[in-house]
Amino acid sequence: MIDVNDLRKGVAFEQDGNLFRVTDYSHNKAGRGKASIRIKARNLKTGANVDMTFISGDRVPEAGLDHHTVQYLYTDGDFYHFMDQETYEQPALRKEMLEGIEQYLIEGMELKLTLWAGEPLDLEIPLAVEHKIVNMEDAIRGDTATGVSARAITETGLQVSVPAFVKKGDTIRIDTRTGAYVTRV
């Protein structure tokens, strides 16, 4: 059991048979009586965002999450296939579950898969990935205060704005949180 005072951003808990992850936390103390804890949480099954209020001292069941290191193998269009590094099982995740991170996936990449009751819930990618540039558009000259940039297309089809000195065939590091160019490798 988790005390509601410990429900900080990112903590997962169960409530009424559903799994929630806290996205926002607020502790409110009135003049008299017990404090109230207001949270915003995301239902990890349905994706719905909900507001919840608890009284200080309440407890909620802790989520029994399993974390596994998996390696990306391949995609067949609708499903993305991974291999668990410890058990060698090969879970397949639907494209909708990846929520836009599929353009960062390269064969052999290691990721963190979160399971709840044996069911895949979340896939965590590294903060930065390295991709090879397969196509470049010409550099855009003009406003020199910001530097000259060009649009690069990586091996996965991801489009990234890069400095003009980056060439086709170079490997670049990309921040997966923003999709921005970090450095040439």
Whether 74 has a pLDDT exceeding 80, the answer reads yes
pLDDT, position 140: 64
Longest dimension (CA), the chain: 66
Cβ contacts of 159 within 8 Å, gap of 6 or more: 151, 152, 153
Between residues 121 and 113, the one the model is more confident about: 113
Count of CB atoms situated within 10 Å of the CB of 80: 21
C-alpha distances out from residue 89 to 106, 114, 150, Å: 19, 14, 42
Nearest to 1 by CA among 54, 58, 67: 58
Beta bridge partners of 120: 115
> Right CATH number for 65-124 from 3.20.19.10, 3.20.20.100, 3.40.50.2300, 2.40.50.140?
2.40.50.140
Determine the Cα–Cα distance for residues 30 and 38; give it in Å rounded to an integer. Answer: 13
pLDDT, position 115: 84
Each residue's pLDDT tens digit, 76-97: 888 999 999 999 989 888 888 8
Q: What are the residue ranges of CATH 2.40.50.140 in the chain?
A: 65-124, 128-184
Whether 182 has a pLDDT exceeding 60, the answer reads yes
Model's pTM, two decimal places? Answer: 0.70
Q: What are the residue ranges of CATH 2.30.30.30 in the chain?
A: 2-60
Tell me if the domain spanning 2-60 has CATH number 3.40.50.10860: no
* Third-level CATH fold of 128-184: OB fold (Dihydrolipoamide Acetyltransferase, E2P) (2.40.50)
Task: Tell me, rounded to whole angstroms, the distance of Cα 52 from its chain centroid.
Answer: 24
Q: Is 4 helix (H, G, I), strand (E, B) or coil?
A: helix
